[in-house]
Amino acid sequence: MSRNAESTAFRSALEVIRAVEPRVADAIGAELTDQRESLKLIASENYASPATLLAMGNWFSDKYAEGTVGRRFYAGCQNVDTVEALAAEHARELFGAAHAYVQPHSGIDANLVAFWAVLADRVESPALKKAQVRQVNDLTEADWFALRRELGNQRMLGMSLDAGGHLTHGFRPNISGKMFDQRSYGTDPTTGLIDYDRVAEAAREFKPLILVGGYSAYPRKVNFRILREIADSVGATFMVDMAHFAGLVAGKVFTGDFDPVPHAHIVTTTTHKSLRGPRGGMVLCQPELADQVDRGCPMVLGGPLPHVMAAKAVALAEARRPDFADYAQRIVDNAQALADGLLRRGATLVTGGTDNHLVLIDVSGYGLTGRQAEQALLDSGIVTNRNSVPQDPNGAWYTSGIRIGTPALTTRGLGTAEMDQTAELIHTVLTQTTAGANADGTPSKAKYTLDADLADKISRQAADLLAPHPLYPAVDLA
């Protein structure tokens, strides 16, 4: 095989690394092998392009660049200004946003920037200054209550975790749950769908400062026009976390009422997942919040990562190409084919199907917990993650669900026919897995039994399914 540009770049990089720490080089190579051989169905994962990956491994990593374009606290940032400005320009054009801030290191960081941008006029409160001299982990619940009161006793209303929301939408273990007095809206117990009338009722009763839309495990479209109307009716700022479905917005699969950017005051996202970029975050906002958002560093963030911003610029440029819209549509087509294949085989799906990139299987019908199902599938070469379902009796650790998604397999080129075969593999593993027992004979939520020969057979079938669709085919490390 010829040493083309991509092979040469990655092979040379590993040779340089190997000369210093061969175990790291081995681990990097092993990760590529594992990803090539595994049926990756984690809804929040994807495969970035070689150009995006290579943009992260360069001299931008050595630069400090606190501040924003043209207003840095360090000299010599003219090249950082170039890549940050390019990333922001691509983001604005791609999403039709008035302002884009591309410095956040992750989706959680992007959410924190958004929260503090909304609270910016209160950030200099005496209570906050006093709290900053103590370790955050040492603050008691009474301390947090006093701090929230000093900040105006601010309130947040977001989707509940078991209905598909995210920890950063106000849940107590997360810093958002410390910053805000939080209440959740759930889904209809029969359909699993958002009941907008109930959201409106909760907003009228609770009167939140921030109404959060968006999700990490809700398999349907969300009507952001209605949520904005609800926010306006109670004087709330409407924030949308589109980390999971940003690629579907960028690819114009979600438009009109289902595109959050025209409706929200502020939108946060990751740049990986369905957007297929580097691991990182981003904030889009209306002009009135732009100045506060741009203060994300040092308000919330550590120093920007210029090498990751360079990779964001590359990935966002890729997403502006016409073929990305086709890719985004195929993500949804594949997810719906996967859902249909599971339903035909008797699986129970939350909401009965999907409108987006993910499918949520209630595995209690197989007599399993999410943790048992997740591990049994992993044993069989199928990578998923356990996830809560609405009103989950097993809680957030063991769970009763498995969340699967199609962005990564769609990147590899698999289509709807392969999704049906994937559904067959998943169903076979789950039907052949039995829950185990603890040493005292009580039912275990973690232990399970799966015939090793069957797991090996499914792994080989998964590999056969992937074989016609090689991952990074131009990269040869041999």
Residue 27: helix, strand or coil by DSSP?
helix
**Straight-line distance from the first to the last Cα atom of the chain, in angstroms, rounded to the nearest whole number:** 10
- pLDDT beyond 80 at 14: yes
At 42-53, the pLDDT tens digits run 999 999 999 999
Q: How many alpha carbons fall within 13 Å on the CB side of residue 221?
A: 17
Residue 376 pLDDT exceeds 90: yes
Top mean pLDDT of 68-72, 181-185, 289-293, 453-457 is at 453-457
- Amino acid 356: pLDDT: 97
- What CATH number should be reported for the domain whose range is 59-119+154-319? 3.40.640.10
Work out the pLDDT band at 153, boundaries 50, 70, 90. low
Q: Pairing relation of β-strands 237-241 and 401-405?
A: unpaired
**Rounded Cα–Cα distance for residues 83 and 87 (Å):** 6
3-state class percentages of the chain: helix first, strand second, coil last, to nearest 5? 50, 15, 35
pLDDT in tens, 380-418: 999 999 999 998 999 889 999 999 999 999 999 999 999
Residue 449 tokens, joined:
């039994």
Number of CB atoms found within 10 A of residue 279's CB: 17
Per-residue pLDDT tens digits for 285-296: 999 899 889 988
Give the confidence band of 129 by pLDDT, cuts at 50, 70, 90: low
**Is residue 3 predicted with pLDDT exceeding 60?**
no
Q: Which CATH architecture has domain 323-466?
A: Alpha-Beta Complex (3.90)
Active site residues: 64, 66, 241, 270, 273, 279
**pLDDT the model gives residue 166:** 77
In the prediction, which pLDDT does 431 show? 97
d(Cα 335, Cα 360) in Å, to the nearest integer? 11
Gap between the Cα atoms of 343 and 359, Å rounded = 11
For the chain, give the percent of residues with pLDDT over 90: 76
The 3-state DSSP class for residue 30 equals helix
The pLDDT tens digits for 23-35 are 999 999 999 999 9
Residue 122 has pLDDT above 50, yes or no: no
- Label residue 152 by pLDDT band (50, 70, 90): low
Q: For residues 419 and 45, what is the distance between their CA atoms, to the nearest angstrom?
A: 17
Whether pLDDT at 374 is above 70: yes
What lies within 8 Å, CB to CB, of 6 at 6+ separation is: 50, 472, 474, 475
Position 151 confidence tier, pLDDT thresholds 50, 70, 90: low
Residue 322, phi then psi, degrees to nearest 5 = -60, -30
Per-residue pLDDT at 477: 86
pLDDT at 137 over 70: no
Beta bridge partners of 15: none
Task: Sketch the domain layout of the chain as residue ranges.
Answer: 59-119+154-319, 323-466
Round to whole Å and give the CA distance between 166 and 243: 10
What would the DSSP string read from start to end of 146-170? HHHHHTT--EEEEE-TTTT--GGGT
Confidence bin at 271 (pLDDT 50/70/90): very high
Residue 179 pLDDT: 76
Q: Rounded CA gap, 194 and 188, in Å?
A: 6
What pLDDT is attached to residue 147? 64
Q: What is the pLDDT of residues 298-330, one digit of tens each?
A: 888 888 999 999 999 999 999 999 999 999 999
pLDDT higher for 463 or 180?
A: 463
